[in-house]
């Protein structure tokens, strides 16, 4: 059972013709290296003069190198402030919120549009906004002390970029996030396809858990217990802030359901059995084919998009969605089908038809970077989480001068070249490793080739496990690599990657 959950079952049967049709219809991106100035020769032969590696050739067409701006600008005002909101079971809860909502507003843009977010900090603490999973200019990445100074109380910062990928992303603070995210600061960024597939509706479910004591968010953060384990796991689980989220649909509808795990530490394995549900996108990028969601581990930071068809015959039925990551299942939400006549099910090929670099037979290639994940006693919290024996300095959000960039190790990754990164977990705990500014593909787990027909930005590394990933970074800059269990990150499990043209 445990092993079954760990492997990601694939579905055979998406027809090639439908796949190509969908690719043409819905993913009109240019190949990733096409739009660059002088790119044809520059990317065909890397700086060293060696021929393009097989892995880089396989990568071509996976996702575009540059954005294709349409000229449209979307202006959004975003404000972080304390608020009291009816959440969980509907009782008032003191939170920190974006635009007085938890989850924060879902920001929607079309691919090619420029998003301009004027952010105001009305918290009593410094903060930043990080755009998780979005490939954007490094200066917009929201990492204090690395890409920008923290936004002080009362301060503002304008985030402006044209997303390069259509998909489900999210935003959250990158300073003392174990507290700031836990108190409710997170929201979803949906980048729609230029021509969105004609789903009956497009829904966002943000999964989170809360540690509630006497009707309030437990104010003890980064406790020794949380640090020794898999971070802060709450005692109340919510979807869109509610313990009883219900999505009412009509029979026959075809729904795009976007799931985000915004929890500090909890992993979810959502069970949609009983429903015709297929994963079409992981961490914001379409998969190569539709996949069975059974057993998918949605770690902190991960997103999956599902393509769900409600049977025409399901009028009056109720489908409950349950989390099966832990031994005891947790009810997440329910999909209630209304009575009445069925609507016509929109018929179109699955958009899950992306080109995903196969990168097979790469076991023999040495990793360019290897990270050993471990813990030791010491540091501000009594326990430090380390990458190769180094713990990054903790973020102190009580001083405006705080920089998450202090005391970090910096490694170099050559831009437009293929690199293997290896994560060796010397601990028994979970570590969802997240890279900013790039997508990677899991190559193997414990030396056994993985068969994941998709890219990710966050991969869950289990206790004592070794995970190899492949990546072709396209964007220059200083990008974070860290555990997305926010307590582990704050206790040191953060590092930096300099992506440079060599």
* Segment 345 to 384, residues that bind ligand C2O, using CB under 6 A: none
The alpha-carbon radius of gyration of the chain (Å, integer) is 22
CA–CA separation, 404 and 175 (whole Å): 7
- DSSP label at 242? B
Our finding on whether 497 is near Cu ion (CB under 5 A) is no
- DSSP label at 461? E
Q: Which is nearer to Cu ion, 396 or 434 (CB)?
A: 434
- Least CB distance to ligand C2O at residue 489 (A): 7
CA–CA separation, 373 and 267 (whole Å): 18
Residue 310 interacts with, from Cu ion, ligand C2O, none (CB under 5-8 Å by kind): none
- DSSP label at 139? G
* Segment 287 to 346, residues that bind ligand C2O, using CB under 6 A: 301
The DSSP result for 201-224, as a single string, is: EEEEEEEEEE-EETTEE----S-H
- Least CB distance to ligand C2O at residue 484 (A): 6
Sign of dihedral through CA atoms 203, 235, 301, 359?
negative
- Least CB distance to ligand C2O at residue 7 (A): 26
Query: Binding ligand C2O by CB under 6 A: which of 27, 29, 125, 174?
Result: 174
CA–CA separation, 249 and 315 (whole Å): 9
Our finding on whether 135 is near ligand C2O (CB under 6 A) is no
Our finding on whether 132 is near ligand C2O (CB under 6 A) is yes
Query: What are the φ/ψ torsions at residue 123 (nearest 5 degrees)?
Result: -85, 165
Within a 10 A sphere around the Cβ of 82, how many other Cβ atoms? Answer: 14
- Least CB distance to Cu ion at residue 429 (A): 6
**Residue closest to ligand C2O when measured from CB atoms:** 132
- Least CB distance to ligand C2O at residue 53 (A): 28
Residue 174 interacts with, from ligand C2O, Cu ion, none (CB under 5-8 Å by kind): ligand C2O
In terms of DSSP bridges, do strands 201-210 and 254-261 run parallel, antiparallel, or are they unpaired?
parallel
Our finding on whether 130 is near ligand C2O (CB under 6 A) is yes
Query: Binding ligand C2O by CB under 6 A: which of 434, 445, 456, 462?
Result: 434
CA 228 vs. chain centroid, Å, equals: 24
CA–CA separation, 131 and 112 (whole Å): 16
Our finding on whether 482 is near ligand C2O (CB under 6 A) is yes
The DSSP result for 307-345, as a single string, is: EEE--TT-TT-EEEEEE-SSSS-EEEEEEEEPSSPPPPP
Q: Which is nearer to ligand C2O, 303 or 415 (CB)?
A: 303
- Least CB distance to ligand C2O at residue 438 (A): 12
Q: Which is nearer to Cu ion, 64 or 492 (CB)?
A: 492
End-to-end CA distance of the chain: give it in Å, rounded.
46
Stretch of 6-14, 32-40, 90-98, 477-485 contacting Cu ion, by CB under 5 A: 477-485
Residue 488 interacts with, from ligand C2O, Cu ion, none (CB under 5-8 Å by kind): Cu ion
219 touches 208 (CB < 8 A): no
Q: Which residues 6+ apart lie within 8 Å of 450 measured at CB?
A: 8, 442, 443, 444
Residue 260: strand, helix, or coil: strand
- Least CB distance to Cu ion at residue 266 (A): 13
CA–CA separation, 118 and 98 (whole Å): 12
Our finding on whether 483 is near Cu ion (CB under 5 A) is yes
Residue 285: strand, helix, or coil: strand
- Least CB distance to Cu ion at residue 265 (A): 8
Number of residues that bind ligand C2O (CB under 6 A): 10
Residue 492 interacts with, from Cu ion, ligand C2O, none (CB under 5-8 Å by kind): none
Q: Which is nearer to Cu ion, 308 or 481 (CB)?
A: 481
Q: Which residue has the tokens 């405006």?
A: 400
Per-residue x/- track, 441-480, ligand C2O (CB under 6 A) = ---------------------------------------x
Residue 485 interacts with, from Cu ion, ligand C2O, none (CB under 5-8 Å by kind): Cu ion
Q: Which is nearer to Cu ion, 183 or 488 (CB)?
A: 488
Our finding on whether 431 is near Cu ion (CB under 5 A) is yes
Q: Tokens representing 145?
A: 């002390």
Sign of dihedral through CA atoms 428, 430, 435, 436?
negative
Per-residue x/- track, 394-433, ligand C2O (CB under 6 A) = ----------------------------------------
The residues that touch ligand C2O, with contacts defined as CB under 6 A, are: 130, 132, 172, 174, 301, 434, 436, 480, 482, 484
């Amino acid at each position: 059972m445990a092993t079954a959950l760990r492997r990601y079952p694939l579905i055979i049967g998406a027809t090639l013709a439908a796949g190509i049709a969908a690719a043409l219809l819905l993913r009109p991106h240019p190949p990733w290296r096409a739009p660059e100035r002088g790119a044809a020769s520059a990317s065909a032969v890397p700086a060293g003069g060696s021929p393009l590696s097989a892995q880089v050739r396989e990568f071509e067409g996976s996702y575009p190198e540059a954005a294709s701006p349409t000229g449209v600008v979307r202006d959004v005002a975003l404000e972080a402030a304390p608020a009291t909101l009816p959440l969980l079971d509907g009782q008032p809860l003191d939170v920190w919120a974006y635009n007085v909502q938890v989850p924060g507003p879902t920001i929607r843009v079309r691919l090619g549009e420029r998003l301009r977010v004027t952010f105001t900090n009305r918290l009593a603490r410094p903060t930043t906004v990080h755009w998780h999973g979005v490939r954007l200019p490094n200066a917009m990445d929201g990492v204090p002390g690395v890409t920008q100074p923290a936004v002080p109380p009362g301060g503002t910062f304008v985030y402006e970029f044209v997303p390069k990928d259509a998909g489900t992303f999210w935003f959250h603070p990158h300073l003392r996030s174990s507290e700031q995210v836990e108190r409710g600061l997170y929201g979803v960024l949906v980048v729609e396809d230029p021509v969105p597939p004609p789903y009956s509706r497009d829904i966002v479910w943000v999964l989170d858990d809360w540690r509630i004591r006497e009707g309030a968010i437990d104010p003890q953060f980064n406790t020794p217990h949380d640090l020794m384990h898999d971070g802060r796991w709450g005692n109340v689980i919510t979807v869109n802030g509610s313990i009883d989220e219900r999505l009412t649909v009509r029979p026959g509808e075809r729904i795009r359901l976007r799931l985000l795990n915004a929890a500090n530490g909890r992993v979810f394995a959502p069970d949609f059995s009983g429903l015709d549900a297929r994963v079409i996108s992981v961490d914001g990028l379409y998969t190569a084919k539709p996949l069975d969601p059974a057993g998918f581990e949605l770690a902190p930071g991960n997103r999956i998009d599902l393509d769900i068809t409600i049977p025409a015959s399901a009028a009056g039925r109720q489908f409950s969605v349950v989390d099966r990551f832990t031994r005891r299942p947790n009810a997440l939400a329910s999909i209630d089908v209304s009575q009445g006549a069925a609507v016509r099910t929109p018929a179109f090929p699955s958009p899950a038809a992306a080109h995903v670099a196969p990168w097979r037979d790469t076991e023999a290639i040495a990793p360019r970077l290897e990270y050993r994940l471990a813990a030791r006693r010491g540091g501000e919290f009594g326990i430090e989480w380390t990458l190769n024996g180094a713990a990054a300095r903790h973020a102190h959000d009580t001083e405006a001068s705080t920089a998450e960039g202090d005391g970090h190790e910096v490694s170099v990754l050559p831009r437009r070249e293929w690199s293997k990164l290896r994560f060796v977990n010397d601990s028994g705990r979970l570590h969802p490793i997240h890279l900013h500014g790039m997508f990677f593909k899991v190559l193997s787990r414990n030396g056994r080739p993985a068969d994941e027909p998709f890219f990710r930005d966050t991969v869950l590394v289990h206790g004592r496990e070794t995970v190899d990933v492949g990546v072709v970074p396209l964007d220059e800059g200083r990008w974070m690599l860290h555990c997305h269990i926010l307590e582990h990150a704050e206790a040191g499990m953060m590092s930096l990657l300099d992506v440079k043209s060599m």
